[in-house]
Amino acid sequence: MEEKQTTFKPLDPLLHSELRLAVMSILIGVEEADFVYIKAQTGATAGNLSVQLDKLSAAGYIEVEKTFKGKKTCTICRITGKGRDAFAEYVETLKQYLQIPKV
């Protein structure tokens, strides 16, 4: 019987994206963050950020709440448990590629 030499575990494609990863990186460290803040921190265009937040939200990695800040609309994002788990697993998987020992 042939043993498959699965040296590299696949990387979650939802997280293996520069902008989405930056968003998750921000959200994992805070209670919540709004669209404008995330946009400033990442330097992303509004369009790109909107699309990527939708994808994270559709995957259940974040939740998005639309509220108001005074009269202005305000889009607040939070990481979910599922998102936290996925991020943690992504980090562990990536360590293999980066040759960083698992702690």
**Can you tell me which of 34, 78, 90, 96 binds DNA, judged by CB under 7 A?**
34
Separation between Cα atoms, residue 96 and residue 65, nearest integer Å: 35
* Residue 25 in the binding site for DNA (CB under 7 A): no
Residue (44 or 62) nearer to DNA, CB: 44
* Residue 23 in the binding site for DNA (CB under 7 A): no
Separation between Cα atoms, residue 75 and residue 68, nearest integer Å: 8
Unique residue bearing structure tokens 């803040």: 37
Return the amino acid letter for 17. S
Distances from the Cα of 59 to the Cα of 4, 13, 41, 83, angstroms: 30, 11, 22, 8
Q: List interacting residues with a copy of itself (CB under 8 A).
A: 4-8, 10-11, 16, 18, 21-22, 25, 28-29, 40-43, 91, 94, 96-100
**Can you tell me which of 28, 30, 58, 74 binds DNA, judged by CB under 7 A?**
74
* Residue 46 in the binding site for DNA (CB under 7 A): yes
